[in-house]
Amino acid sequence: MNRLPLHLALLLALVLVGCRSPQPQNIKVTPVTRLTPPLSPQEHIFGYSVENRPITYLLLGHGPNTCLIMATIHGNEQAGTPLLLQLIEHLQQPQNAHLLAGRQLVIVPVANPDGVAHNRRFNSRGIDLNRNFPADNRRNTKKFGQSALSEPESTALYQLIDQYHPSRIVTIHQPLNCIDYDGPAQHLAEQMAMQCNLPIKKLGSRPGSLGSYAGNTLNIPIITLEFPRSDDNLSPQQLFQTYSPTLLTFIKYK
Ligand SMILES: [Zn+2]
């Protein structure tokens, strides 16, 4: 991976290594160094993982048109994270200020920091966070959680959506190589598909997924970008070159 600017590297380090104390008594956690780089005015911690890693978002722009852009709710599907850090850098350049005019972006580079730290799909309790939302089609199982929002990471995202009421959402996964959507998002998906090589495929609403919850239960247009596994080999700059047109189409969509 090519070098990231210092402030983005600090953000990523905070997300992956940062730790809150004290630890809960019943969870064994490898000791990690407490890392507290100063947060920029745009960075906010909106929850903590099971292993007490902070979960952060950046808030860029102002206005009633709010987009939620997130990556890596499955911890072994990480290509979206360097892409979003590149996107943040792009949006913060003064010559790109017009992209934020009249709109507000809530960007979550890492939704499942413990999963990323362990390179696992699940959180530290072995729960698939993308099956843990209170969607109409949710099922209580060992892997999906014994109740909706049983996990701190999914609860934090639920509260973030409740706080900001985004008008559309994009969430980045791997490796299915397609654009999927839920809710009233067909036209948006078609516009985004014109800007990249990912074909539109309806994968079907998974029980308790964020797509099912936001798209079908809340009726918010939500796009699931499924990058191919080979994108793990791309540098952050190559990821940005490949996917920034589709992400900017999402951001500028009216
Ligand atoms: Zn996934």
Per-residue model confidence as pLDDT tens digits over 224-246: 999 999 999 999 999 999 999 99
CA dihedral 137, 201, 214, 238 (to 10 degrees): 140
Over residues 134-143, the pLDDT tens digits come to 999 999 999 9
Residue 33 confidence (pLDDT) = 36
Distance (angstroms) between ligand 1 centre and the Cα of 243 equals: 17
Distance (angstroms) between ligand 1 centre and the Cα of 200 equals: 16
Cα dist from 75 to 164, 174, 252, whole Å: 24, 10, 28
Query: Residue 5 is encoded by which pair of tokens?
Result: 């600017």
The domains of the chain are located at 6-21+33-252
Look over the chain and give the mean of its residue pLDDT values, rounded to a whole number: 89
Distance (angstroms) between ligand 1 centre and the Cα of 77 equals: 6
Distance (angstroms) between ligand 1 centre and the Cα of 223 equals: 13
**Among 36-45, 105-114, 117-126, which stretch is predicted with the lowest mean pLDDT?**
36-45
Domain topology for 6-21+33-252: Aminopeptidase (3.40.630)
How confident is the model over 76-96, as a mean pLDDT?
97
Distance (angstroms) between ligand 1 centre and the Cα of 102 equals: 31
* pTM to 2 decimal places: 0.87
Residue 28 has pLDDT above 60, yes or no: no
How confident is the model over 30-35, as a mean pLDDT?
38
Element (DSSP H or E) covering residue 158? helix 152-164
